[in-house]
Amino acid sequence: MRRHLGIIFVLALSFSSLAAALSQDQPSIDELKKTAVKVYLDCDSCDVEYIKTEITFVNYVRDRLEAQVHILITTQTTGGGGREYTLNFMGQNDLKGTNDIQKYFSTTTDTSDDIRRGLVKALKMGLLSYVGKTPIARRITVAYLPPDKAGPGRDHWNFWVFSLTGSGYFSGEKSYKDQNADFSFSANRVTPATKVRLGLSLDTSKTKYDIEDEIVTGTKSSWDGSGLFVKSLGEHWSAGVFLEAGSSLYSNIDLGLSAAPALEYNAFPYSQSTRRQLRFLYKLTVNPVKYREETIYGKTRETLFQESLSATLDLREKWGTVSVSASGSHYFHDFSKNQLDLFGIINLNLYKGLSVFVLYGRSWIHDQLSLLGREPTFEEQLLRLRELPRTSDYFVSIGFQFTFGSIFTNVINPRFGSSGSGGMSIHIN
Amino acid sequence: MNKHVSAAAALLVALVALAVLPSGAQTPPAKPAGPPQALLKVFLDWPGADIGFFRAEIPFVEFVPVLGEALVRALVTPQGPPGNESFAVEFSGLKEFQGDDNTLTYAPAPGDKPEDVSKGLAGLIKIGLMRYVAKTPAAKFVSVNFQDLVKPTSVVDKWDFWVFNLSASSFLMGETQYKDSSYYGSFSASRVTPELKIRTSVYGNLSKSWFDFGDDIYESSSHGYGFSGLVVKSLGKHWSAGAFLSVESSTYSNLKFSVTAAPAVEYNLFPYSESTKRQFRVLYRIGYTGTRYNEETVYFKTTESLLRESLSFAYEVKRPWGMASLNLVGSNYIHDFSKNRIELGGEVSFRVWRGLSFEVGGSYAKIRDQIALPRGGASYEEVLLRQRQLATGYQYSFSVGLNFTFGSTRSNVVNPRFGNGGQSISISM
């Protein structure tokens, strides 16, 4: 027994001296982590907890100015209906000047696990340019497993992508029931030179209230078919046609058709569109329409001509997001039948944990040609089942957020659930 | 038999090694035997380097003999006395990688053997090349791995992981016959480490709506405020213990003032470290609540103090095929076991085949514990606008969706002309 103890003692002693020797030559991993690159992850649509669990060789901070690398991730829809993730790596503070852009593409039917794994891989590969400058880099290995045979076949679909979607939603309790169903089909062909989008969608919903044995039912239904053809004319100009056919109970339209040739100018090159756009779109529309019930102007059918102009500015920068647009339109048979819309959203990451946002929208409406000739019922008004006369509408939202304290956000602790702390948040796609 | 197999395996390994290292010895580069793999062409600018060694170590790029063919130049400059030198590696992008430059340095630890130094240097070159390799087809077969497990708290943090947040926001909207406004504010303080989780917050909200029915105007308002706190202590890989504390006032729920304190324990069948991939948590909680009601309840109470217990099961899994979750919660009051509720909810999203995905979700609740319902009931308008909790014995929701996409697989094209099908904004409170 005593001998055993002695051996253990000697072993322990030699281990501790070994550990001491190791720590003298090479700093421990916890020491290396302290000097790891500080990263600010600027992404609305990422599974952040997963990223932090999978990539542990950097430190995550909650303020962009504290970071050595600011990673801004923006997304755009691809021709196949998937997403293009653009990862902008921007070196800051002592790593200023080292910049990189990586991309990751997802498809429509990628599962959320496919997407988060793909993003983690793109993040790791991009991060190594910075991690290579810190001592923790020597603990990272790169492995390569080439395939036996590579090279996908030809694309015999010639860039056409088709998609069918159907969904239903039902909910209820004793005095309230709600049923919704929708179906859509789309066929798209997107190349850098031309864009064709064809779509068909159907929507229906029914809400039932039981109030003191009286049953109030609200129904909404609509269908819509649309087509868009666009031809690219250089880095700044595009020309195309919008086509549409549809029906809507809410808007009192039995059948509306429209065809609109259009021209667009982008002040920034289209190749920068994920970060900045300033687009002007002019549209000339011819619109034959048949109403469900006689309108307030005594019409049951008519053919309308309309022109519209819109301007949109979208910016996505380190310091925040700006999206502002204005559009105006009028009918040719009566210039006083017109509409003007303004919309703006500004979200700024100001200084050291302070961020503010403003959301604003306002419309001046003088072109409700499809309004019901009769007075809507009380339920139609309260449940907003029918379009009501109005001359303007608006919404405004203002908020701020100030965070202070620890800058590190490395820790994930899933115990008792990861519930949010409340508050209001806004996401723009 | 066994011997034969191992001999065959050894032969196979040798063959693979030969195939991977076409010019393992320092012979002039042979013509690549297989199909021309689109590997990144790199010029290693280091006269006298053992190029064969780097070819073997870094098989996912092609080392070319002249600068003219290369897309990346890696200039290695030894610094310091021979035998104890460090190396600066200057990566410069050429042609389409023009401008993608970076410099990394490798300093061997004192006493490293020459082969360790070469290995370490090759490791660093791999890391530096990754940003370019990520943009070639070979990226698919490369993986980046971190060799250590490191604590996320290994950082220098003067705030000791405390984070404070102050936020406020407002949302206003309206049109000619309808107006709606809401305001929200909160302050939170939290500290999350793997051993202990503390979350506290105070919040308040107010919302108002206004309808004009021509001859009649309807106005309503509702508000709520409160405090919520959570403390959780980690007890190993599977167990946690903690307590919930909350103070609440809400017009929707007929609560003037309500205080709850509830200790709880949780068991996770899987280790918590796997929680972004799978978790199966069982939580038991017993709580004491003291309440003062706004209006007398259906049980003729204006104040009461009650004990209530609950048991919940939460299963969640996220895998390449999709994800699934299932929740079951049961609770009852201790003074009267017949006052209870059971809620069951689940969600599955599943990729059936390459382009086909399927989603289904639903929930059902059996409710026998609405002890806070006011005797006075709710008005017709309050029912339609869902501003009051109503008497019900059950609540359900069900949704189902299917998406089928087929066609081109080369559809990663982004064409932003004429917009990408509109932008979406979501606001959550």
State which of A274-278, B51-55, B235-239 shows the largest mean pLDDT: B235-239
> How many residue pairs bridge chain A and chain B with CB atoms within 8 Å of each other?
473
Chain A positions in Cβ-Cβ contact with residue B321 (cut-off 8 Å): 111, 113
Q: What single string gives the DSSP state of each residue in A331-374?
A: ESS-TTSEEEEEEEEEEEE-STTEEEEEEEEEEEE---TT-BSS
Chain A CA closest to residue B279: A414
Chain A CA closest to residue B415: A192
The verdict on a CB contact (< 8 Å) between A82 and B412 is yes
Residue A21 has pLDDT above 90, yes or no: no
CB nearest A394 (choices: B150, B164, B174)? B174
Best of A163, A325, A415 to substitute, by most chain B Cβ atoms within 10 angstroms, is A415
Share of chain A above pLDDT 90, in %: 47
Backbone angles phi, psi at A384, to 5 degrees: 55, 50
Chain A positions in Cβ-Cβ contact with residue B396 (cut-off 8 Å): 170-173
Dump pLDDT digits (tens) for B333-355. 999 999 999 999 999 998 888 77
The verdict on a CB contact (< 8 Å) between A382 and B197 is no
Mean pLDDT for the stretch of residues A89-117: 90
pLDDT band at B262 (very low <50, low <70, confident <90, very high): very high
Backbone angles phi, psi at A242, to 5 degrees: -100, 135
Residue tagged 């050595």 (tokens): A68
**A317 CB-near residues (< 8 Å, 6+ apart):** A72, A275
Mean pLDDT for the stretch of residues B77-97: 87
The verdict on a CB contact (< 8 Å) between B418 and A121 is no
Beta bridge partners of A240: A230, A262
C-alpha distances in Å from residue B285, one per residue of A132, A210, B246, B266, B288:
48, 36, 14, 9, 10
The verdict on a CB contact (< 8 Å) between B323 and A382 is no
CA count, 13 A, side-chain hemisphere, A385: 22
C-alpha distances in Å from residue A14, one per residue of A17, A19, A20, A316, B11:
5, 8, 10, 58, 42
**pLDDT of B425:** 55
Q: Would you say A90 and A99 are in contact if contact means Cβ atoms under 8 Å apart?
A: yes
Q: Is the dihedral of CA A93, A95, A100, A101 positive or negative?
A: negative
Residue A269 identity: P
**pLDDT of A423:** 44
Helices (H), B169-241: none
The verdict on a CB contact (< 8 Å) between A173 and B128 is no
Mean pLDDT for the stretch of residues B129-157: 89
Share of chain A above pLDDT 70, in %: 89
Please give the Cα distance from B13 to A429 (Å, whole number): 50
Q: B295 in helix, strand or coil? A: coil
Q: Would you say B312 and B329 are in contact if contact means Cβ atoms under 8 Å apart?
A: yes
Chain A CA closest to residue B102: A98
Q: Would you say B125 and B140 are in contact if contact means Cβ atoms under 8 Å apart?
A: no
What is the average pLDDT value for chain B, to the nearest integer? Answer: 84
The verdict on a CB contact (< 8 Å) between A76 and B165 is no
Question: Which DSSP letter does residue A299 get?
Answer: -
Radius of gyration over every alpha carbon of chain A, rounded to an integer in angstroms = 29
Instruction: State the complex-level ipTM.
Output: 0.76
Residue tagged 């050894």 (tokens): B10
Lowest-confidence pick of A220-234, A331-345, B27-41: B27-41
The residue that leads in pLDDT, B217 or B229, is B229
Mean pLDDT for the stretch of residues B136-142: 89
**pLDDT of A426:** 53
Please give the Cα distance from B288 to B286 (Å, whole number): 7
Nearest 10 degrees: CA dihedral of A10, A15, A18, A23?
Answer: -140
Mean pLDDT for the stretch of residues B167-174: 88
Chain B positions in Cβ-Cβ contact with residue A382 (cut-off 8 Å): 211, 381, 384-385
Please give the Cα distance from B131 to B67 (Å, whole number): 19
Residue A428 has pLDDT above 70, yes or no: no
Q: Would you say B414 and A86 are in contact if contact means Cβ atoms under 8 Å apart?
A: no
